[in-house]
Structure 1
Amino acid sequence: MSKAPGLSRRDILNSLLLPALGLGLASAPSNVFAQASGNSRTLVAYLSRSGNTRVIAGQLQRRFRADLFEIRTAEPYPEDYEETVERARQHRDSAATPPLAESVGDVAGYQTVFLGFPIWGMALPAPVRTFLTTHDLSDKTLVPFITHGGYGTGSAPRSVADLASGARILEPFVLQADQERETLNRVTAWLQAVEPEL
């Protein structure tokens, strides 16, 4: 596997500062660039729950003047984190491919596809599985970028390779990012300490 041209780990890490500054895609409307503009041969497709993957997608979109596509399911995942974890587990265990809200209008027109997603339950999230089974990426260069909460990439790289076997897959960018569960656990511990004093 070779490194994606023009990208450095520093570029992507620097982009993580954008949410703190109130800049970038974290505040942009969902799926602003859902359909190909026809001007770019590069697509950045991504799934993001907490916003970490979205920030990386935004930097890639700007760097390559790429079209941007947010992977969203027709039936949204719950707002509650624990409920989302449970649904994601059910989808993983059943190898589900939940329908997407939209698809890329003309994926055949792209030469390069950056594909971003978080790791859910040590596996490829079901919506990304749907994206890969409903969009033919044969003969394209596929560049994964993956965020995780501390447990690594699990089986996701192998799943991407299996589902996009006709693509030339480059080495993924992998970043450990904040995990919602850890945040919830820390808040719970804090509340247990302060509640007796309330």
Structure 2
Amino acid sequence: MASGKTILKNGGATVLKTLVVFYSYSGITRKLAEDIALLTDGELRELKPQKPYSYSYNTAVKEVRGEIERGYCPPLKEGAEPVGDAELIFIGSPNWLHTFAPPVLSFLRAVNLSGKTVIPFCTHGGGGFGDMPERYRKECKGARLRDGIALKGDYSFEELEAWIRSL
């Protein structure tokens, strides 16, 4: 299943199996997820809805707005498999209308994250996490939720690497 990365804690080494789950519309969040996986030796898992959003950004925003307003969880054709023995799960999304993309909500409601450590990440154009932290707290009951990172698309790898080391 997921691979491990040595993370130093209190002077001792602990190997945590890491999973990096993400939804990306334009590829920006995918790049961030790939960088996190590289830095943590984590396994990548992309969330793919059965019905992709429109290639027209304005049309996609209308589709997403309707889904978010209804609390709709689009069926996933990939990504909703159980997380197995992964202990540390990074979950990423673009900031869409101040929250995570509906495919992330589908994942959160489809898998059991009890006892797991969840670290959110997002890409944004200036809105940071929006209300994602509150939504993660609501949807990840039974999981240990850690502070995440919200980065613009032009983030530096060094900035991300420093954050990963701080964990």
What's the TM-score, normalizing by structure 2? 0.79
Give the number of the structure whose residues are more often strand, by fraction.
2
Larger Rg: 1
Of stretches 73-82 and 37-46 in structure 1, the one that deviates more from structure 2 is 37-46
Please state whether the residue corresponding to 1:115 is helix, strand or coil.
strand
CA contact (8 A) 1:150 1:177 kept: no
TM superposition shift of 1:177: 3.0
TM superposition shift of 1:170: 0.9
Equivalenced residue count is 142
Equivalent of 1:153, from 120, 126, 129? 129
Equivalent residue for 1:175?
Answer: 151
What's the TM-score, normalizing by structure 1? 0.67
Unpaired runs of 5+ residues, structure 1, are 1-36, 179-198
Instruction: Give the Cα separation in 2 of the matches to 1:111 and 1:98.
Output: 26
TM superposition shift of 1:82: 0.7
TM superposition shift of 1:176: 2.5
Structure 2 counterpart of 1:155, one-letter code = D
Instruction: Give the Cα separation in 2 of the matches to 1:50 and 1:105.
Output: 23
List aligned pairs for 1:1-198, cutoff 5 A.
37=1, 39-40=3-4, 41-177=17-153
Instruction: Give the Cα separation in 2 of the matches to 1:82 and 1:108.
Output: 37
Deviations 1:130-184 (A, max 9, x none): 1100011111010111111112322111111100021111111111337xxxxxx
Q: Identity over aligned residues, as a percent? A: 33
Evaluate the alpha carbon distance shift between residue 157 and residue 58 of structure 1 in structure 2; reply closer, same or farther with a 3 A threshold.
same
CA contact (8 A) 1:47 1:70 kept: yes
Deviations 1:62-92 (A, max 9, x none): 2222111011101111111111000000001
CA contact (8 A) 2:123 2:152 kept: yes
Deviations 1:26-52 (A, max 9, x none): xxxxxxxxxxx4545210000111222
Instruction: Give the Cα separation in 1 of the matches to 2:89 and 2:67.
Output: 25
Which segments of structure 1 move beyond 4 Å, counting only runs of 4 or more? Answer: none
CA RMSD of aligned residues (A): 1.6
Give the number of the structure whose residues are more often helix, by fraction.
1
